[in-house]
Structure 1
Amino acid sequence: MAPKSDKTDWGDEHNVLTVTVLGCTGDLAKKKTYPALFALFLHEHMPPRTVVLGYARSPMTDESLRDKIRPALKGPKDKVETFLASCFFQQGEYGSDDPEENAESDPPVFGALGDRVAALEDSRGGGFRVTGHRIFYLALPPSVYPPVCANIKRACMSPTGWTRIVVEKPFGKDLQSSEELSAGISKLFTESQLYRIDHYLGKELTQNLVVMRFANRFLAPLWNRDNIANVQILFKEPFGTQGRGGYFDQYGIIRDIIQNHLLQLLCLVAMEKPCSLSPDDIRDEKLKVLRCIEPVSTDNVALGQYTNGPGGEAYLDDATVPAGSKAPTFALCVLYVGNERWDGVPFIIKAGKALNEHKCEIRVQLKDVPGDLFAEQKVRGRQARNEFVVRLQPDPAIYMKMTVKEPGLGMELAQSELELLYTQKYESTPIPEAYERLILDCINGDQQHFVRRDELVAAWKIFTPLLKYIDAGGMNPELYPYGSRGPVNADKLREKTGHVLNLTAKDITWAVDVEGD
């Protein structure tokens, strides 16, 4: 049995790391996995004796794999070539869907893969007996996770070091399918060996949430239902499915974005202070938040699907989308965290494709200032509200919107920002991509930014009843033009929760105010 160790001395010349990328010919591996591995190498975060082994069904050589991934690697040419010299390829199958059939196959389905990994480890040992540590990155559809994991367990486990498995979302389509998937994998690997990637947890501003909330005293007294009117978590894309409608149609926007990425952001906004920064202490607090959220009511949901507009063609015009599909490409859900801190505060979660802008941000809107001292300066009946905003993309930023007096002899009010713009403040500092950070966490045995099984269960319990209702035809999406702000029913639902668009004396045009989106 491999020793249980979260910390590895990579300075020890006996320690060797092999990262096996299963599905190395796919888009995910080419666009995310290999560039992230190269970035770690380029910035000297990769252990010195690292081998990257690609695995796929397609016939290919070491050199042809290198030719395939070379254009995706951005950096000095000599560094690219040095990295590629440590990249190799192994062809093979993934095995039967029947785990028992895989277990009885002779030779093992991954027998050649296991032998190749062992040979590459030995080649890095310089004549010494090595301790081989192995990461298997499953850049594959979830449907093949069970046979792949069974074959790794049978033929590819490290006899001397640790073995870790990285799996990508989606983790099932509902609570039942997620648990079936988890149950099959958990029979083979412990939770400490499993790394479920949600790349939003690797983004710089996401990781800053814990620091901002618990390292700044001025925020703590405000962070509760007495001061906060609502919280918005927004994800907007200005493009549609771009020919991937067949894949997207199986899931829809709630499964694709809201149930995982945005719900994880909600947890970091709403959770209590953990007793330490250990991965399980932080994930315990996130789990408590999820368990305080009731399943989404259909009264608190607005759905949409984009149609023809100035920005492009309708979702149904994508040739890969089934005719007459009712899959939502937009959803706004209102969630409530039923605990002492957040009771009654709406968390407005919105995600959509083919909208008017590219944006992902968290907007914490504070309540109105009590005592209306500036009644004569009000516009449209109210003073603008303070907002604390964390913008994840594009152009990462953190800012507070506050009301100030305009310069001059009068008493005109306007909103201004106290802001930290990452592109200016850290102009000369390279900000790592999410996958780069998460792969490094996996190498270091840090699971803080990976999803635990009980978190998955709690998250699916919130959305599964709604998803079953939508899949059964209980809710039809409202059409909205490609390139618009989204369906009208979403604005009505958001207004119903008490959210207020931030209008000031210098910003009175409703059509211009898109910051409240």
Structure 2
Amino acid sequence: LPCQFVAYYNHKLHDNNDILFQVQKDEQDLFESFIKRNSYICGSYDKEDGFIRLKVEIETVGSRLGACPNRIFYLALPPSVYCTVTTNIQKICTCKSANAWTRVILEKPFGKDTQSSFELAKHLAGLFNEDQLYRIDHYLGKEMVQNLMVLRFANRIFAPSWNREHISSVTISFKEPIGTYGRGGYFDEYGIVRDVMQNHVLQMLCLVAMEKPISLQAEDIRDEKVRVLKCIAPISADEMVLGQYVGNLDSHIEEHRISYVDDPKVAKDSITPTYALAVCRINNDRWDGVPFFLRCGKALNERKAEVRIQYREVPCDIFPAGQVKRNELVIRVQPNEAVYAKLITKQPGMGFDITETELDLTYHERYKDIHLPDAYERLLLEVFCGSQINFVRSDELEQAWRIFTPCLHDIEKNRRKPVLYKFGSRGPAEADELMRQNGFVFTGTYKWKPFSSR
């Protein structure tokens, strides 16, 4: 593939700038070949002269190729400069030839609420066609998130029970063991709901809850996502638990002793949440009455992202009270990618006791010699190929903000204080209580173990 990478930034490179790559020993030659294809332009985001130099660099590449090159612009920028940068790109740096295309990759956040997102979408629509815009949510590139559609629509055993008659609740979790120290300036402006729940977690909900698309074409899949989003009522602030981590002074790990507000870029009286649990309700025939628990947080006890589908209790249970636990289907997104189902079986032996176990597909055991690509590897390749299956369309974004904007404005207007929780804990106990009140059953001490720890 004859491609060239041109970096554009508003600071100069220095000789002591390190190249931050982890290179495998057998990939050193590929890495050196890649580095040779890179060049660098220093320029301002809001002045045209830098973009003119960028245009000259791109045209120099084109002259070597003997054609106007296709162009992908990947914007990993502060949201405050999106409008000026995209305006300059469209005005100066795009190829006007009908034989070449321009694609623009945009990183979140795509606004802070319905109004700001609408204004950004309107601005972009005035510059580019929708098929040129790739709003990236890297969770859509993760192996197990992509597997959700296959599990649902390629396995008949799930179809009859994937509804309110059999499923009691769905919990979608995103947990990180690290805090926000060092990026507090950005995080304090947005908070955990805007940073994670409104995008990563909601996208996973769409894949769990949407109807079967008529094909695997990008527009058919995204149409179904929009349809299910339109069925979701705006989340009520009364059905949310918000938390903010404080330092755990009993910890021997220095990072765990740091509170969120200890970041020098965060105000000491900040009420920005670093943890959130929300109850989401889908008003359609399939999911009416089934709570979807959206849960995400920083500085928690583990790194984990998963979808947990809890089934209803067995009717007319003939076994001793309390022995039969609820079945669960768990799709483990990270780490240790896996799909496992919690089942009740007979305890081996002469007696007739029952026990809880699982049917387990752990990816690193079943597919030992297969490389699972990084999410960005997969998504950037899809941009090269022109596939928008795993990118967010403008009307998806509109519906996502419709769901979250009212509760965000309510929380901010009333300056609702988050519940404090210790760094390294499970988060606020109030979150577990809200889940119990809405029908989730914590089924005891059983916990799935990856093969590596068995």
TM-score under structure 1 length normalisation: 0.82
* Residue 338 (structure 1) aligned with residue 283 (structure 2): yes
Partner residue of 2:32 out of 68, 76, 81:
81
Matched letter for residue 290 of structure 2: V
2:308 paired residue among 353, 358, 363: 363
Q: C-alpha separation between the residues in 1 aligned to 2:105 and 2:21? A: 25
Q: Whole-Å Cα distance in 2 between the matches of residues 399 and 185 of structure 1?
A: 42
**Equivalent of 1:275 in 190, 211, 214:** 214
Cα distance in 1 between the residues matched to 2:241 and 2:13: 47
CA deviation after TM superposition for structure 1 residue 320, in Å? 2.1
One-letter amino acid of the structure 2 residue matched with residue 264 of structure 1: Q
Aligned to 2:425: 484
**For 2:39 and 2:172, how far apart are their aligned partners in 1?**
41
Identical-residue share of aligned pairs (%): 48
Quote the offset at 1:70 in angstroms.
Answer: 5.4
Indicate whether 1:148 and 2:99 are aligned: no
CA-CA distance at 1:68 after TM superposition: 3.4
Question: Residue 109 of structure 1 contacts residue 151 of structure 1 at CA under 8 Å; is this kept in 2?
Answer: no
Check conservation: 1:312, 1:482, Cα contact below 8 A. Answer: yes
Structure 1 residue 312 displacement after superposition = 2.7
AA matched with 2:130: E
Instruction: Report the Cα distance in structure 2 between the residues aligned to 1:72 and 1:57, rounded to whole angstroms.
Output: 25
The match for 1:375 is 320
Contact 2:176–2:297 under 8 Å retained in 1: yes
> Is residue 68 from structure 1 mapped to residue 18 from structure 2 by the alignment?
yes
The Cα offsets for residues 413-457 of structure 1, whole Å up to 9 and x where unpaired, read as 211111111111112111100111110110000001000000011
Alignment of 1:468-479 (within 5 A): 468-479=409-420
Q: Deviations over 1:320-348 (max 9, x none)?
A: 21121000111100001100000010000
| Deviation for aligned residue 1:409 | 1.4
1:250 counterpart SS class = helix
The alpha-carbon deviation at position 368 of structure 1 amounts to: 0.4
| Counterparts of 1:312 and 1:456, CA distance in 2 | 37
The structure 1 segments of at least 4 consecutive aligned residues displaced by more than 4 Å after TM superposition are 72-75, 512-515
Per the alignment, do residues 488 and 257 of structure 1 end up closer, same or farther by CA in structure 2, a change over 3 Å counting? same
The answer to whether structure 1 residue 135 and structure 2 residue 86 are counterparts is no
Measured against aligned partners, the alpha-carbon deviations of 1:375-405 in whole angstroms (never above 9, x if no partner) come to: 25x24xxx21100100001111011110111
1:322 maps to 267
- 1:5 is matched with none
Letter matched to residue 441 of structure 2? V
SS of residue paired to 1:69? coil
Residue matched to 1:169: 108
Question: Aligned pair 1:49/2:2, yes or no?
Answer: yes
CA contact 1:199–1:434 (8 Å) conserved in 2: yes
Match of 1:391 among 294, 318, 332: 332
Q: Secondary structure at the match of 1:68?
A: coil
Distance 1:428 1:241 in 2: 35
Task: Tell me, yes or no, if the aligned pair for 1:336 and 1:344 is still in contact at 8 Å.
Answer: yes
Distance apart, 1:498 and its partner CA: 0.4
Distance (whole Å) between structure 2 residues aligned to residue 195 and residue 71 of structure 1: 25
Q: C-alpha displacement at 1:172, in angstroms?
A: 0.7
- Once the two structures are superposed, residues 453-508 of structure 1 have per-residue CA deviations (whole angstroms, 9 ceiling, x without a partner) of 000110001000111111123421111111111112111100011000123xxx48
Q: Distance in 1 between matches of 2:43 and 2:263?
A: 33
Q: Partners in 2 of 1:513 and 1:109 — Cα distance?
A: 54
Counterpart AA for 2:398: V
Counterpart in the other structure of 1:226: 165
Q: Secondary structure at the match of 1:468?
A: helix
Q: In the alignment, which of 394, 398, 401 is matched to residue 460 of structure 1?
A: 401
Is the contact between residue 110 and residue 155 of structure 1 (CA under 8 Å) also seen in structure 2? Answer: yes
- Residue 124 of structure 2 is aligned to residue 185 of structure 1: yes
Instruction: Check conservation: 1:70, 1:80, Cα contact below 8 A.
Output: no
The residue number in structure 2 matching 1:199 is 138
Alignment of 1:31-50 (within 5 A): 48-50=1-3
2:51 corresponds to: 110
SS of equivalent to 1:388: strand
Letter in 2 for 1:316: V
Selected match of 1:442 from 364, 383, 386: 383
Q: Which amino acid aligns with 2:45?
A: Y
Match of 2:440? 499
| d(CA) in 1 for partners of 2:30, 2:257 | 41
- 8 Å Cα contact 1:441/1:447 also seen in 2: yes
Normalized against structure 2, the TM-score is what?
0.94
RMSD: 1.9
Q: Deviations over 1:114-139 (max 9, x none)?
A: 1110111222x2xxx32411000011
Q: Is the 8 A contact 1:246 1:322 kept in 2?
A: no
Once residues 252 and 514 of structure 1 are traced to their aligned partners in structure 2, the CA distance between those partners, rounded to angstroms, is 32
Structure 2: which 5+ residue stretches go unaligned? Answer: none
Q: Quickly say closer, same or farther: Cα 1:461–1:70, change in 2 above 3 A.
A: closer
In the comparison of the two structures, how many residue pairs are matched? 441
Q: CA deviation at 1:159?
A: 3.0
Name stretches of at least 5 consecutive residues in structure 1 with no aligned partner.
Answer: 1-47, 97-101, 103-107
1:15: which partner in 2? none
Contact 1:390 1:399 in 2 (8 A): yes
1:278-326 C-alpha deviation (Å, 9 max, x unpaired): 1010000000111101111122111111112133321112222112100
